[in-house]
Amino acid sequence: MNKTVSIIITFGLMVALGIIFFGKSNTNPISAQNVEIKNGVQYITIDAKGGYFPNVSMAKAGIPTKLIMKTSGTYDCSAALVIRSIGFQKILQQNGETEIDIGMPKAGEPLQGICGMGMYSFNINFEN
């Protein structure tokens, strides 16, 4: 019986440590800092490396919009970007920026990007 109790306690400690170290999100779920408007064009910048950051963005609807995907030593599946709603599918360069024209988004129609393996994703919500 002591062996079973030891296994249960060890497993419980491993779960608790996992929650402590990995349960906290290190991403800012909503950030306006990655959205800027220059010369009438809205630019939304997302970093791709080990996921997409920020993973949720808020932007304005009804203005010309470009998505800037920034990579820096990105060798994981976040480099294989798919945005189904605009028919975009591409392996991003490992270092640099990729500009994607997403047109004039409509309010209430979010844009979702996902990695080629379906592990990582981001959403851009558009409002007036």
User: Domain spanning 35-127: which superfamily?
Assistant: Cupredoxins -  blue copper proteins (2.60.40.420)
Please state which of the ranges 8-17, 94-103, 105-114 shows the lowest mean pLDDT.
8-17
Instruction: Output the CA torsion 38→59→43→81 (10° steps).
Output: -170
SS3 call for 16: helix
User: Residue 27: which pLDDT band, with cuts at 50, 70 and 90?
Assistant: very low
Residue range 25-38: mean pLDDT, rounded: 66
Is the distance from CB of 25 to CB of 19 less than 8 angstroms? no
Composition of the chain by helix, strand, coil, percent to 5? 20, 45, 35
- Note whether 60 and 107 are within 8 A (CB): no
CA distance 3 to 23: 29
Contact 95, 73 (CB under 8 A): yes
Which two tokens mark 78? 């976040």
Q: Note the pLDDT tens digit of each residue in 54-97.
A: 999 999 999 999 999 999 999 999 999 999 999 999 999 999 99
